[in-house]
Amino acid sequence: MHCACPTSSSFLLLPPFNTIRAQVLQIGANDPVLPTTGITVSYQMVENTDAGLIADAYFSTWISYAPKIFPGYQPLVNGKVVGLTGNGLSGTMTYDALSKSWIATGIPAFPPVTGTSTDVMTDPLGGPNRTPYLTANVTVKNTAGTTLATTSTVVPVAFGGCCSCHLDVAVANGFPRTPDGSFKAMGKLHGQNSSKIDLSLLDPDGDGVGGPIRCSECHLDPAMGETVAPGFANVHPNYTILPGATFTKADVKTSTMTFSQVLHNFHSGNAKVLAMKPDINTNCYACHPGNGIECYRGVMKSDGYTCVSCHGTLAVRASSGQTAQPWNAATLPSCNKPAKGVTGSCHSSTQYPDGGGWASSFEGKYINNRGHKGSILCTTCHGAPHADAPAQTAKDNVQNLALQGSARALGKCSVCHPKKSTSWGVPAHTRGGAVLP
Ligand code: HEC
Ligand code: HEC
Ligand code: HEC
Ligand code: HEC
Ligand code: HEC
Ligand code: HEC
């Protein structure tokens, strides 16, 4: 589940940005093959529409302010909403040989108000509930334009929980209970840390107004595609510092700490945070989307595991070095072992080898991996990491139910092999000698 900020007028943690992967299998008389030519694969978001996003009071702040945050980027082209990588709410997917899947990156999905029962996410700013579990329809056509196959998948996106504390932090610091008040308070507090930088006094384009600020310009964030933080002055060469500041341009430096590091480490140890939420070290939903929705909703949850079982407490995440190397296979959990610095026994690496996956600087050995005989992504059979089949949310189970009549991981051999068993089983997990990538 991707997190998006409700408003983008003052600061931005993460932009609207969801990525869909689809594997296409050609089922003939023998073993399935994965065609790479002769087909087009396309996606269409269902609940998000261009008109709906343009009219949305929150998304419209993204449309207005994103060009200041990402100079050169235009979120609206010919009346259509376009994400940071150029993909909109519908389009074609590109074949990626490494994952053997078709990918559309950076879809600008955003939780809408639908007025229906799917509006289960509460709004930390007090607005109406919104729908976080969106749908994308995926269609495969041949070169003649005939539809060969269709499926649908869940595109989850939600607001994080910062506001649930930071509106109060704003008031405690003498600012109004609004996103802007929260930004000013956060900026002031940031000015009191070793950086001296009051974020609210940074004016990126010299128009005399503070913000909007993107944290990952100074704090490395691989989720923003970074391998180093770009630096504020490099992104905004014409920036100015507003009057009243007690720092200078010489102080406006990139941080030695990643974005994951500053957020997790600071909040795990701060006495004022602990006074607001004494259980902050184990309450990941204080920030990660738990506001009525529970981003963690898979079979591992049904089996009784919590965020901390696999990832560790905030304090462990900080002290073990996970946050210094975020979004990385070296620190994230896999099916065979919990996250770096966490102990616990997981699935047998002999029976269910994760095989290491392929080297990727972004995300772990579950997402970047294929199993069975070598071609099929773990996620194709098992679903998304925190919605692993059978998930607690009906919507995440739709594809497996349609294919094999069971919400469990794909195990009915005949779904893919017409000549093999029509009953459900556990496909071999070893790759039979196949080496990745
Ligand atoms: C459990 C409540 C809580 C949550 C949730 C929370 N914060 Fe905080 N945050 C605080 C408190 C309390 C402070 C310190 C206030 C003080 O010292 O007066 C703080 C301080 C900060 C600071 C200033 C730290 C510094 O020294 O520079 C930043 C920046 C910040 N928070 C960002 C965030 C962001 C971004 C999120 C969401 C991802 C978030 N916070 C979620 C309670 C929270
Ligand atoms: C202009 C650069 C810049 C921007 C933009 C920026 N920071 Fe920082 N931040 C720093 C520097 C420098 C430090 C000092 C830490 C270090 O590297 O030694 C710091 C420190 C922090 C700390 C204290 C960490 C600690 O444990 O001491 C927090 C929390 C933090 N930043 C959060 C944020 C958040 C949240 C945002 C976006 C709203 C943000 N920062 C934007 C440069 C920046
Ligand atoms: C104070 C707010 C806050 C709390 C509390 C929090 N997180 Fe996060 N977490 C974030 C933000 C914001 C990001 C996105 C950082 C980025 O974009 O790099 C994040 C990213 C992550 C990541 C991916 C990056 C990485 O470090 O590998 C993991 C894993 C993670 N959080 C786990 C947890 C777990 C587990 C808990 C509870 C024990 C938790 N978080 C509690 C704010 C928080
Ligand atoms: C059963 C173990 C398990 C539990 C429980 C779990 N996670 Fe994860 N989490 C993983 C694995 C495995 C990955 C790495 C997936 C990959 O990239 O291959 C991951 C990755 C993440 C990431 C990085 C982004 C992503 O989706 O890859 C975040 C953020 C995160 N977890 C947060 C949480 C939070 C918050 C909770 C609790 C609400 C939680 N996790 C519960 C196993 C778990
Ligand atoms: C062709 C489909 C398919 C692929 C690909 C696949 N699995 Fe599985 N896997 C299954 C099925 C079906 C089960 C049995 C699930 C059940 O008992 O409900 C299973 C079971 C498992 C289990 C044991 C779960 C338990 O309940 O004990 C683990 C761990 C696992 N798989 C990990 C992986 C990993 C890691 C990958 C990728 C490297 C992967 N799988 C790839 C279909 C697949
Ligand atoms: C999601 C689709 C999928 C499912 C479900 C699936 N397989 Fe496969 N299987 C493949 C693909 C694709 C290959 C071809 C090798 C490759 O490209 O990875 C394959 C290859 C094989 C092979 C090696 C080739 C051969 O025919 O000797 C065996 C054995 C096999 N599968 C057995 C099974 C059994 C048994 C099941 C059910 C328990 C099963 N598979 C379920 C996709 C699947």
* 27 CB within 6 A, ligand 6: no
Q: Which amino acid is at 210?
A: G
Mean pLDDT of 383-398: 98
Give yes or no for a contact between 334 and 366, defined as CB atoms under 8 angstroms apart: yes
The reply to whether omega before 427 is within 30° of 0 (cis) is no
Give yes or no for a contact between 292 and 301, defined as CB atoms under 8 angstroms apart: no
Give yes or no for a contact between 183 and 211, defined as CB atoms under 8 angstroms apart: yes
Instruction: Tokens for 275, please give them.
Output: 């006074």
Quote the CA–CA distance of 251 and 257 in Å, as a whole number.
Answer: 15
- Distance (angstroms) between ligand 5 centre and the Cα of 253 equals 46
Q: What is the pLDDT of residue 423?
A: 96
- Distance (angstroms) between ligand 6 centre and the Cα of 31 equals 7
Condensed to tens digits (0 to 9), the pLDDT of residues 163-196 reads 999 999 999 999 999 999 999 999 999 999 999 9
* 94 CB within 6 A, ligand 1: no
Quote the CA–CA distance of 11 and 20 in Å, as a whole number.
Answer: 26
Query: Closest Cα to atom 10, ligand 4: which residue?
Result: 333
Mean pLDDT of 60-71: 97
- Distance (angstroms) between ligand 1 centre and the Cα of 79 equals 37
pLDDT band for position 109 (cuts 50, 70, 90): very high
Q: 10: number of CA atoms within 13 Å, CB side? A: 15
Give yes or no for a contact between 9 and 65, defined as CB atoms under 8 angstroms apart: yes
The reply to whether omega before 437 is within 30° of 0 (cis) is yes
Mean pLDDT of 26-55: 96
Q: What CA–CA distances, in Å, run from 124 to 17, 56, 178, 403, 429?
A: 20, 16, 11, 38, 43
Residues with CB under 6 A from ligand 4: 284, 288, 295-296, 300, 305-307, 309-311, 332-334, 363-367, 385-386
The CA dihedral of 271, 272, 278, 283, to the nearest 10 degrees, is -100
- Candidates 373, 392, 346, 353; CA nearest to 434 is 373
Q: 208: number of CA atoms within 13 Å, CB side? A: 0
- Ligand nearest the Cα atom of residue 357: 5
* 174 CB within 6 A, ligand 1: no
* 189 CB within 6 A, ligand 1: yes
- Ligand nearest the Cα atom of residue 183: 2
Quote the CA–CA distance of 110 and 354 in Å, as a whole number.
Answer: 32
Atom index in ligand 3 nearest the CA of residue 313 equals: 38
* 429 CB within 6 A, ligand 5: yes
- Candidates 230, 229, 223; CA nearest to 106 is 223
Quote the CA–CA distance of 111 and 120 in Å, as a whole number.
Answer: 10
Give yes or no for a contact between 167 and 7, defined as CB atoms under 8 angstroms apart: no
Averaged confidence pLDDT in the chain = 96
Query: Closest Cα to atom 33, ligand 2: which residue?
Result: 215
Q: What is the pLDDT of residue 431?
A: 86
Residue to mutate, 266, 268, 281, 283, ligand 1, most ligand atoms under 8 Å from C-beta:
266
pLDDT band for position 98 (cuts 50, 70, 90): very high
Of 26-35, 239-248, 397-406, where does mean pLDDT reach its minimum?
26-35
pLDDT band for position 371 (cuts 50, 70, 90): very high
- Candidates 266, 127, 250; CA nearest to 197 is 250
pLDDT band for position 355 (cuts 50, 70, 90): confident
Q: What is the pLDDT of residue 357?
A: 86
